[in-house]
Structure 1
């Protein structure tokens, strides 16, 4: 998802936002021929993500700036670790530094939080996945960061897969509790899809599972289920569909959720609540 085109478009927009008419401070105070070296240093431990994005901030500011990476996306690091270095014209290095830092701090924060969730469920077969609760315009970056942290991605957009949630079902069934009507309505929608489309249906109670299974859902999301009901749902589905748990998942609850036997645990907090990691640039004259 995080292609060079997507990186350059977003980083270019960020640079335009930060220095729309140039860097007034650098141009006023820094000699045009001054060369600087900026070292990206971790102020706290974490998991790294965003190396290509960090490099793009300097490349797009001035192609003569060279960036060397010490670690790769997905690598863990300790506080004090030197992660990367950028060397080139001082004006360009200092103009690009904040944009480069903003991206890599955000992405490494997402990767670090994801890695903590993944560690909690490592003794099970459950996958930790993200959601569409991402920063508008930065989904590819945050989704890449989730992968850096050892997690997996849910559908990227509304166009990638079918997910009929509670509000869809409320409209579809007009409030009826009739199981046969639910199955028929879902089957009618599935019949209009390509055979390649993946269909996921969200349920909020155990009684919805049989009609959803009968409709042919590929994945069933158990939303805000208790641990007892999650176990019952896994047993009821019995391998006939992928079982996803969702709703209010935290680091304190994810282990017990995974131990119910679900296949996937979707966690909105990976992207909407991850704090940026404390990374800094130490600049010296080269």
Structure 2
């Protein structure tokens, strides 16, 4: 067996329990956020399987398989060739696995005519994850190229970092602010009035924390602590308070700012450790 396949299979074995754990974690988070009870499966899945236990077991296996597929798909990103094409194949593989899981588990079938709008909304969130990582990587690559040019004498050395590192952290500030400001207005029309999966669950519990973490870590890894990033994340979150359903509160914005701060410091520490290793 090739080492790449062996590595992909080992990651698939790790991905199965991680994916299955999401089955329990997300409903609990949704129950805490909405103040209602915890429901592990949709009513449509229970009707199709006959019992709630059978539906829960079926969903457990499906989401575990989805996690295994995501772990296995990492092999695409390690192949030789164009990183753009490898990333595209990685995205298509994962979105296909997600589509099969969502369809079989009846995740969006609260009403039949709402499946595709909600599915498109969740797909947009997944695509946003890719864009966040891609934007952070592109910014990092540009910084690396600038550093190489400086060492080769092709660019004039700058006098030093800007005050509060505003110039260095500006691309990450724009990235985080754009996603915090635009995602909810774009996804709200695709959400359902009865169960707001996109704006009530995926955005506040997955996408926003992920955005803050990636922006903070990437900025810290490149430039060290960036004190403007956490308040910028909080400021970009504030317009979300203008929406009434589902309602957000200020504590969520403070939590996202805290995530950005923690991951910014972790990124700065990671960058220093890598410099020492070199």
Larger RCO, structures 1/2 (Cα 8 Å, 6+ apart): 1
Q: Fold-level match, TM-score > 0.5?
A: no
TM-score (norm 1): 0.28
Which entry has the higher C-alpha Rg, 1 or 2? 1
The normalised TM-score by structure 2 is: 0.29
